[in-house]
């Protein structure tokens, strides 16, 4: 087959823009709810319900451990065929059902019964159980949602376009996840507990709506179903490795390990910053909750406006790996100065600039991971993307534990008391808002630069082999 003919075949199989838009609303849904979770849960249980920073951290750490184990386990289990696989595909049923129940479970985190809220042990237990339930349903749909991307969008240009569209849509999810609570929640005193339930119900409604909007984007076409049936037929002939054997095998892939470590530290950075913004608003700026909306608007404008820029950079370089390193460098230089900022205008400008780098990094995560999965598929001769995406989520979710530990240590060392904020406590907020996230990014970028070996030329060879193998 000639190169021209191969290119025509690839173009004929490309997904329409409407499918990419539908897929992008999955990113909107995930960022909407997880953004609110990251920003509110620790502060809600610490300030509103009165848990100590240590107990709140223990709750988040235990949630993170379950979160980390749960994701690759679900990737391992849901790759197996069900009665619905032949008709609906491997992933679609899990995506739809998981996303529906995810919204309901989010409400439970904040709907703490009065009898429980008056007891620290029961409050902690409620926190652990409800956050773990929330994560189980979240992993059920999100791991499978992510694994659709490399299988459905198979050409580099198509991936860049789909990722750009998803990022543009997903940015609004991030923004709304931060902005809606500031419009609904009047404060963090116990008398405002009902506001958190109202806020959660709004998020649940939006999440369920997104579950229907994403159907065209995540529904598996006939080619995807045929590839899966072929994969299952081959798998049945072989003895399957255990979950832990697959984890060791995945981490032995150099480029996968490089990306996982960068992704983990990037997530630790963004989790810490996201959770810090409300502390900054309350105790550094002395603002009411609604005033932080303006700060988040700056981040939204920066990220949204950056999509054409990073799409052009990625297309010009022809190398997702190089492009994501540039985005990481941008974020490093934009994050560190926030250690010293004290006014709303300063934070607005800083987060707008930071949003540009964040938008690029976030847009490139999926194409970079897709390239790495393609390399592994060519090596192994089979497509097990759900497992690798589960392992990615494993390390990404550990960032919640890092954020909780960071806040616990910093708040303990700086004597943080929401009712009596000292200059030392303000310094602590600056540290977990900017200084520590900067360090996370520097370490992650250094590791990725040293370990990652993929480039434009290698990816061209990999894509040719994928076409030959029909994987």
pLDDT > 90: what percent of the chain? 31
Instruction: Give CA angle at 396 (169, 147), nearest 5°.
Output: 60
Average pLDDT, the chain: 84
User: For residue 367, is pLDDT > 70?
Assistant: yes
Who wins on pLDDT, 229 or 386?
229
Kindly indicate the confidence band of residue 275, based on its pLDDT and cuts at 50, 70 and 90. Answer: confident
Cα atoms in the 13 Å half-sphere on the side-chain side of 61? 12
Q: What percent of the chain has pLDDT over 70?
A: 87
**Segment 168-209, tens digit of pLDDT:** 888 888 878 878 888 888 766 666 778 888 999 999 999 999
Q: Is the predicted pLDDT of residue 88 greater than 50, yes or no?
A: yes
Beta strands in 110-213 (DSSP E): none
In this predicted structure, the answer to whether residue 212 has a pLDDT above a threshold of 60 is: yes
For 17-229+241-469, CATH number out of 1.20.1250.20, 1.10.1060.10, 3.40.50.720, 2.60.40.1930 equals: 1.20.1250.20
Residue 251's pLDDT is: 73
Q: For residue 187, what is the DSSP state?
A: -
Contact between 28 and 169 under an 8 Å Cβ cutoff? The reply is yes
Neighbours of 50 (CB within 10 A): 15
- Look at residue 13 in the predicted model and tell me its pLDDT: 65
Query: Residue 398, Cα to own-chain centre: how many angstroms?
Result: 12
Q: Note the pLDDT tens digit of each residue in 99-123.
A: 999 999 999 999 888 888 788 889 9
What is residue 446's predicted lDDT score, i.e. its pLDDT?
97
Half-sphere exposure of 305 (CA within 13 A, CB side): 12
CA atoms within 13 A on the CB side of 311: 18
Q: Is the pLDDT of residue 41 over 50?
A: yes
CA dist., res. 102 & res. 94, Å (int): 12
User: First-to-last CA distance in the chain?
Assistant: 17
Give CA–CA dist 383/369, Å, rounded. Answer: 14
364 vs 313: CA distance, rounded Å = 11
Summarize pLDDT for 254-269 with one digit per residue, the tens. 898 899 999 999 999 9
How distant, in Å, are the alpha carbons of 90, 132, 213, 274, 340 from that of 41? 33, 13, 27, 11, 26
């Amino acid at each position: 087959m000639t190169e021209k003919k191969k290119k025509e075949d690839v173009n004929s199989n490309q997904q329409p823009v409407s499918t990419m838009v539908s897929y992008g609303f999955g990113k909107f849904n995930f960022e909407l709810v997880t953004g609110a979770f990251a920003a509110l849960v620790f502060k809600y249980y610490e300030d509103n319900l009165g848990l100590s920073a240590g107990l709140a951290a223990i709750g988040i750490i235990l949630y993170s451990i379950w979160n980390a184990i749960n994701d690759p386990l679900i990737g391992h289990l849901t790759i197996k065929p069900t009665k619905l696989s032949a008709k609906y595909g491997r992933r679609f049923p899990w995506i739809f059902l998981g996303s529906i129940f995810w919204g309901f479970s989010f409400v439970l985190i904040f709907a703490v019964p009065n009898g429980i809220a008056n007891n620290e042990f029961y409050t902690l237990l409620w926190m652990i159980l409800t956050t773990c339930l929330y994560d189980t349903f979240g992993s059920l749909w999100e791991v499978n949602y992510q694994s659709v991307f490399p299988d459905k969008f198979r050409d580099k240009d198509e991936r860049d376009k789909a990722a750009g569209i998803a990022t543009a849509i997903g940015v609004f999810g991030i923004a709304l996840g931060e902005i809606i609570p500031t419009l609904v929640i009047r404060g963090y005193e116990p008398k405002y507990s009902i506001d958190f339930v109202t806020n959660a119900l709004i998020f649940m409604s939006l999440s369920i709506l997104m579950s229907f909007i994403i159907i065209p984007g995540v529904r598996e076409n006939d080619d995807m179903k045929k590839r899966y049936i072929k994969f299952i037929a081959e798998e049945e002939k072989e003895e399957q490795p255990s979950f832990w054997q697959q984890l060791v095998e995945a981490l032995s892939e150099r480029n996968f390990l490089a990306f996982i470590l960068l992704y983990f530290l990037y997530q630790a950075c963004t989790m810490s910053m996201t959770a810090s913004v409300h502390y900054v608003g309350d105790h550094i700026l002395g603002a009411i909750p609604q005033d932080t909306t303006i700060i988040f608007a700056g981040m939204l404008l920066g990220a949204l406006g950056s999509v054409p820029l990073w799409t052009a950079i990625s297309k010009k370089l022809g190398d997702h790996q190089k492009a994501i390193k540039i985005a990481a460098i941008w974020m490093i230089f934009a994050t560190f100065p926030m250690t010293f900022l004290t006014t709303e205008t300063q934070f607005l400008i800083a987060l707008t600039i930071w949003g540009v780098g964040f938008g690029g990094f976030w847009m490139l995560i999926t194409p970079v991971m897709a390239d790495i999965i393609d390399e592994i598929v060519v090596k192994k001769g089979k497509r097990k993307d759900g497992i690798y995406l589960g392992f990615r989520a494993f390390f990404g979710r550990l960032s919640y534990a890092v954020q909780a530990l960071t806040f616990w240590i910093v708040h303990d060392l700086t004597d943080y008391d929401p009712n009596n904020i000292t200059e030392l406590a303000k310094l602590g907020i600056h540290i977990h808002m900017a200084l520590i996230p900067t360090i996370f990014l520097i370490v992650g970028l250094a590791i990725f630069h040293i370990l990652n070996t993929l480039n434009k030329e290698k990816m061209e060879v990999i894509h040719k082999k994928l076409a030959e193998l029909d994987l």
